[in-house]
Protein backbone atom coordinates (compact mmCIF):
# COMPACT_ATOMS: atom_id res chain seq x y z
CA UNK A 1 0.00 0.00 0.00
CA UNK A 2 1.47 3.23 -1.09
CA UNK A 3 0.37 6.69 -0.16
CA UNK A 4 -0.72 8.43 -3.41
CA UNK A 5 1.36 11.51 -2.67
CA UNK A 6 4.54 9.44 -2.62
CA UNK A 7 4.11 8.29 -6.21
CA UNK A 8 4.65 10.46 -9.25
CA UNK A 9 2.81 10.20 -12.58
CA UNK A 10 5.24 7.46 -13.74
CA UNK A 11 4.38 5.30 -10.78
CA UNK A 12 7.80 5.86 -9.23
CA UNK A 13 8.52 6.78 -5.67
CA UNK A 14 8.77 10.51 -5.35
CA UNK A 15 12.21 11.02 -3.78
CA UNK A 16 11.54 14.47 -2.47
CA UNK A 17 8.74 13.43 -0.18
CA UNK A 18 10.17 10.19 1.27
CA UNK A 19 12.40 10.90 4.22
CA UNK A 20 11.99 8.04 6.71
CA UNK A 21 10.44 4.62 7.01
CA UNK A 22 8.51 3.27 9.99
CA UNK A 23 10.68 1.11 12.23
CA UNK A 24 7.75 -1.28 12.74
CA UNK A 25 6.15 -1.81 9.32
CA UNK A 26 8.48 -0.08 6.85
CA UNK A 27 5.90 2.49 5.75
CA UNK A 28 7.33 5.68 4.25
CA UNK A 29 6.93 8.58 6.66
CA UNK A 30 7.00 12.01 5.07
CA UNK A 31 5.43 14.21 7.72
CA UNK A 32 6.28 14.67 11.35
CA UNK A 33 3.52 12.23 12.35
CA UNK A 34 3.39 11.07 15.94
CA UNK A 35 1.91 7.73 14.90
CA UNK A 36 2.56 5.63 11.81
CA UNK A 37 -0.38 6.19 9.40
CA UNK A 38 -0.26 2.49 8.41
CA UNK A 39 0.37 0.39 11.52
CA UNK A 40 -0.38 2.99 14.15
CA UNK A 41 2.83 2.44 16.14
CA UNK A 42 4.06 5.49 18.05
CA UNK A 43 6.91 7.03 16.15
CA UNK A 44 9.91 8.09 18.14
CA UNK A 45 12.14 10.45 16.21
CA UNK A 46 15.21 8.58 17.47
CA UNK A 47 13.83 5.31 16.16
CA UNK A 48 12.89 6.53 12.71
CA UNK A 49 15.15 4.83 10.23
CA UNK A 50 16.64 6.79 7.41
CA UNK A 51 15.26 5.65 4.10
CA UNK A 52 18.80 5.10 2.90
CA UNK A 53 17.87 4.74 -0.77
CA UNK A 54 16.28 8.15 -0.81
CA UNK A 55 19.10 9.72 1.18
CA UNK A 56 21.76 8.19 -1.06
CA UNK A 57 19.98 9.54 -4.13
CA UNK A 58 19.88 12.99 -2.54
CA UNK A 59 23.58 12.84 -1.70
CA UNK A 60 24.38 11.75 -5.26
CA UNK A 61 22.42 14.71 -6.61
CA UNK A 62 24.25 17.10 -4.27
CA UNK A 63 27.66 15.62 -5.19
CA UNK A 64 26.80 15.74 -8.90
CA UNK A 65 25.72 19.37 -8.48
CA UNK A 66 28.97 20.26 -6.74
CA UNK A 67 31.03 18.47 -9.42
CA UNK A 68 29.18 20.38 -12.17
CA UNK A 69 29.69 23.72 -10.38
CA UNK A 70 33.41 23.04 -9.84
CA UNK A 71 33.82 21.96 -13.48
CA UNK A 72 32.10 25.13 -14.72
CA UNK A 73 34.31 27.28 -12.44
CA UNK A 74 37.49 25.51 -13.65
CA UNK A 75 36.55 25.83 -17.33
CA UNK A 76 35.58 29.50 -16.90
CA UNK A 77 38.83 30.22 -15.05
CA UNK A 78 40.86 28.46 -17.78
CA UNK A 79 39.12 30.46 -20.53
CA UNK A 80 39.61 33.78 -18.69
CA UNK A 81 43.25 32.90 -18.02
CA UNK A 82 43.78 32.00 -21.69
CA UNK A 83 42.26 35.31 -22.83
CA UNK A 84 44.36 37.31 -20.33
CA UNK A 85 47.56 35.50 -21.41
CA UNK A 86 46.75 36.15 -25.10
CA UNK A 87 46.12 39.84 -24.37
CA UNK A 88 49.40 40.25 -22.48
CA UNK A 89 51.31 38.48 -25.31
CA UNK A 90 49.79 40.91 -27.81
CA UNK A 91 50.73 43.93 -25.70
CA UNK A 92 54.32 42.76 -25.23
CA UNK A 93 54.87 41.96 -28.92
CA UNK A 94 54.36 45.64 -29.82
CA UNK A 95 57.86 46.56 -28.64
CA UNK A 96 59.05 48.70 -25.74
CA UNK A 97 61.72 51.35 -25.35
CA UNK A 98 63.36 53.47 -22.66
CA UNK A 99 65.76 56.38 -22.76
CA UNK A 100 68.75 55.60 -20.59
CA UNK A 101 70.35 58.26 -18.45
CA UNK A 102 69.20 61.89 -18.55
CA UNK A 103 66.49 63.23 -20.86
CA UNK A 104 68.93 64.46 -23.51
CA UNK A 105 70.71 61.14 -23.70
CA UNK A 106 70.77 59.60 -27.15
CA UNK A 107 70.95 56.08 -25.86
CA UNK A 108 67.70 54.26 -26.42
CA UNK A 109 67.15 50.89 -24.78
CA UNK A 110 64.78 48.56 -26.56
CA UNK A 111 62.95 45.41 -25.53
CA UNK A 112 61.91 43.33 -28.51
CA UNK A 113 59.53 40.53 -27.61
CA UNK A 114 59.11 37.55 -29.90
CA UNK A 115 57.13 34.38 -29.21
CA UNK A 116 59.62 32.95 -26.69
CA UNK A 117 62.46 35.45 -26.41
CA UNK A 118 63.13 39.02 -25.39
CA UNK A 119 65.97 40.84 -27.13
CA UNK A 120 67.41 43.62 -25.02
CA UNK A 121 69.46 46.06 -27.07
CA UNK A 122 70.64 49.66 -27.19
CA UNK A 123 70.30 52.03 -30.12
CA UNK A 124 72.43 55.16 -30.39
CA UNK A 125 71.69 56.34 -33.87
CA UNK A 126 75.14 55.08 -34.85
CA UNK A 127 74.76 51.64 -36.35
CA UNK A 128 78.30 50.60 -35.43
CA UNK A 129 77.61 51.17 -31.74
CA UNK A 130 74.17 49.53 -31.64
CA UNK A 131 74.43 46.39 -29.61
CA UNK A 132 72.31 43.53 -28.54
CA UNK A 133 73.00 43.24 -24.84
CA UNK A 134 71.09 40.09 -24.00
CA UNK A 135 68.46 37.64 -25.07
CA UNK A 136 66.16 36.26 -22.40
CA UNK A 137 63.89 33.26 -22.68
CA UNK A 138 60.40 34.10 -21.45
CA UNK A 139 56.86 32.83 -21.20
CA UNK A 140 53.61 34.54 -20.27
CA UNK A 141 52.04 32.73 -17.32
CA UNK A 142 49.03 34.95 -16.54
CA UNK A 143 47.42 38.25 -17.43
CA UNK A 144 50.07 40.19 -15.49
CA UNK A 145 53.02 37.86 -14.99
CA UNK A 146 55.82 36.49 -17.13
CA UNK A 147 58.57 34.07 -16.27
CA UNK A 148 62.02 35.01 -17.53
CA UNK A 149 65.19 32.97 -17.66
CA UNK A 150 67.94 35.56 -17.26
CA UNK A 151 71.66 34.99 -16.99
CA UNK A 152 71.15 31.30 -16.23
CA UNK A 153 69.66 32.00 -12.79
CA UNK A 154 66.63 29.91 -13.63
CA UNK A 155 63.08 31.10 -14.16
CA UNK A 156 62.09 34.26 -12.30
CA UNK A 157 58.62 35.75 -12.13
CA UNK A 158 58.22 39.36 -13.20
CA UNK A 159 55.01 41.31 -12.57
CA UNK A 160 53.74 43.61 -15.30
CA UNK A 161 51.51 46.62 -14.69
CA UNK A 162 50.26 48.88 -17.47
CA UNK A 163 49.04 52.44 -17.28
CA UNK A 164 45.46 53.04 -18.45
CA UNK A 165 46.17 53.46 -22.16
CA UNK A 166 48.87 50.75 -22.08
CA UNK A 167 51.59 53.05 -23.39
CA UNK A 168 53.73 52.45 -20.31
CA UNK A 169 54.50 49.32 -18.37
CA UNK A 170 56.16 48.76 -15.04
CA UNK A 171 58.19 45.60 -14.57
CA UNK A 172 58.83 44.46 -11.02
CA UNK A 173 61.46 43.38 -10.38
CA UNK A 174 63.36 45.10 -13.21
CA UNK A 175 64.30 42.93 -16.17
CA UNK A 176 67.50 44.68 -17.25
CA UNK A 177 68.95 45.60 -13.86
CA UNK A 178 68.80 44.54 -10.23
CA UNK A 179 66.38 47.37 -9.36
CA UNK A 180 63.02 46.70 -7.71
CA UNK A 181 61.24 47.89 -10.84
CA UNK A 182 61.65 49.69 -14.16
CA UNK A 183 59.40 51.49 -16.63
CA UNK A 184 59.16 50.90 -20.38
CA UNK A 185 57.27 52.88 -23.01
CA UNK A 186 55.54 51.62 -26.11
CA UNK A 187 56.98 52.63 -29.49
CA UNK A 188 55.23 55.65 -30.99
Nearest CA-CA partner of 48 in 27, 70, 79 = 27
Indicate the residue among 44 and 177 with the shorter CB distance to Zn ion.
44
Indicate the residue among 18 and 36 with the shorter CB distance to Zn ion.
36
- Tell whether residue 72 is a contact of Zn ion (CB under 5 A): no
49-50, strands of its sheet edge to edge: 28-29, 20-21, 49-50
133 has which bridge partners? none
Per CB under 5 A, which region of 7-15, 27-35, 88-96, 136-144 contacts Zn ion? 27-35
Using the rule CB under 5 A, which residue among 24, 84, 172, 186 binds Zn ion?
24
The span from the CA of 147 to the CA of 141, in Å, is: 7
- Tell whether residue 7 is a contact of Zn ion (CB under 5 A): no
Indicate the residue among 19 and 156 with the shorter CB distance to Zn ion.
19
- Tell whether residue 49 is a contact of Zn ion (CB under 5 A): no
The span from the CA of 117 to the CA of 159, in Å, is: 17
Q: Write the CA distances from 47 to 17, 26, 97, 143, 157, integer angstroms.
A: 19, 12, 78, 58, 61
Indicate the residue among 27 and 182 with the shorter CB distance to Zn ion.
27
Per CB under 5 A, which region of 21-29, 106-114, 136-144, 170-178 contacts Zn ion? 21-29
Per CB under 5 A, which region of 3-11, 37-45, 60-68, 109-117 contacts Zn ion? 37-45
Straight-line distance from the first to the last Cα atom of the chain, in angstroms, rounded to the nearest whole number = 84
Per CB under 5 A, which region of 19-27, 60-68, 117-125, 170-178 contacts Zn ion? 19-27
Give the footprint of Zn ion on residues 114-153 (CB under 5 A). none
* Residues near 16 by beta carbon (within 8 Å), at least 6 away in sequence: none
Q: How far is the CB of 5 from Zn ion (least distance, A)?
A: 17
Q: Mapping DSSP to helix (H, G, I), strand (E, B) and coil, where does residue 55 land?
A: helix
DSSP, res 141: -
Using the rule CB under 5 A, which residue among 18, 36, 160, 175 binds Zn ion?
36
Name the site residues for Zn ion (rule: CB under 5 A): 22, 24-25, 27, 36, 38-39
Amino acid sequence: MCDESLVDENGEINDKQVDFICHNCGENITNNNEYCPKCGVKLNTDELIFNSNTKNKSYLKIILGIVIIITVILITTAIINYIQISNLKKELLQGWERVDGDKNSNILCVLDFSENEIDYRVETGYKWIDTKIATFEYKVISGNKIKVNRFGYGWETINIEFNDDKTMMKLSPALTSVDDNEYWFQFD
